[in-house]
């Protein structure tokens, strides 16, 4: 079955540490997205990528970095510059960014907490 | 930037009854798509229904239907014959059909729906 796999399900970060959240999809989608979810805030866009080797900042990119070296993979690094990283992180993908009629498909999320 | 507003942080409904969740949005575009997503306690995001802005006919998916009022920029979700499994957080989302924000999804803050037996 095609889908999006996020790992790990739970992640803990120490002060000053960078951590990387994995997102893999086998849907052959071009576009991929990272969202942050906080209680009462809905989903906010961190970064998105329309194609391999290209990505753009979303609304809350500070303290995060991404790469898109393969179509299937879009890892998110939460750097030590992100002072409030505790949140639920969701990865999504869609066929192409310009196929706006097509929905974004979501992974099961990663819960990140500070130790 | 586009904004999506869900004015009801929480709603509740009796099993088998009907409930309507509200959503309004702000945009200067004429072509766009609107979505309702459901997030149950498992936290997986599930697409419930979608609506194209250029279609006047309201979308329907089984027990789920929308009331799309383009002039009022309103997009409410009606759940008929509510079931216990409908209990979840519901998010309204907007997606532009053109322009610099093409493809991006903008979400409201969500409405937590409780279904009572």
Which tops the pLDDT comparison, A38 or A16?
Answer: A38
pLDDT of residue B78: 98
> CA geometry: angle at A90 spanning A84 and A93, to 5°?
140
pLDDT tops 90 at residue B117: yes
**Predicted confidence band of residue B108 (pLDDT cuts 50, 70, 90):** very high
How far lies B96's CA from each of A68, A111, B85, B106, in Å? 24, 29, 31, 9
Q: Does A109 touch chain B (CB under 8 A)?
A: yes
Q: In chain B, what residues touch A97 (CB-CB under 8 Å)? A: 102-103
Q: Is the peptide bond before B81 cis (omega within 30 degrees of 0)?
A: no
> CB burial class (10 A; 0-12, 13-18, 19+) of residue A75?
middle
pLDDT tens, A50-78?
899 999 999 999 999 999 999 999 999 99
pLDDT tens, A17-40?
999 999 999 999 999 999 999 988
Would you call A42 and B108 a contact, using CB atoms and an 8 Å cutoff? yes
Chain A and chain B share a number of CB contacts under 8 A equal to: 55
pLDDT tens, B32-75?
899 999 999 989 999 999 999 988 899 999 999 999 999 999 99
Q: How far apart are CA A13 and CA A111, in angstroms?
A: 11
Backbone angles phi, psi at B15, to 5 degrees: -55, 140
Q: How far apart are CA A76 and CA A17, in angstroms?
A: 14
């Amino acid at each position: 079955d095609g889908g999006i796999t996020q790992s790990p399900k739970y992640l803990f970060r120490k002060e000053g540490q960078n951590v990387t959240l994995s997102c893999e999809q086998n849907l052959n989608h071009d576009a991929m997205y990272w969202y942050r979810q906080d209680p009462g805030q809905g989903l906010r866009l961190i970064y998105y990528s329309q194609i391999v080797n290209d990505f753009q900042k979303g609304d809350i990119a500070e303290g995060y970095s991404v790469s898109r070296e393969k179509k299937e993979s879009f890892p998110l690094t939460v750097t030590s510059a992100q002072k409030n990283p505790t949140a639920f992180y969701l990865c999504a993908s869609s066929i192409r960014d310009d196929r706006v009629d097509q929905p974004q498909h979501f992974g099961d999320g990663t819960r990140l907490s500070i130790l | 930037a586009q904004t999506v507003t869900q004015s009801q942080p929480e709603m509740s409904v009796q099993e088998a009854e009907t409930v309507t969740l509200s959503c309004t949005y702000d945009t200067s575009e004429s072509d766009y798509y609107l979505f309702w997503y459901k997030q149950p306690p498992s936290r997986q995001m599930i697409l419930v229904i979608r609506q194209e802005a250029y279609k006047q006919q309201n979308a329907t998916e089984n027990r789920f239907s929308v009331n799309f009022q383009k002039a009022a920029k309103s997009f409410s979700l009606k759940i008929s014959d509510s079931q216990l499994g409908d209990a979840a957080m519901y998010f309204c989302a907007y997606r532009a059909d053109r322009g610099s924000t093409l493809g991006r999804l903008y979400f409201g803050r969500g409405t937590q729906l409780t279904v009572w037996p």
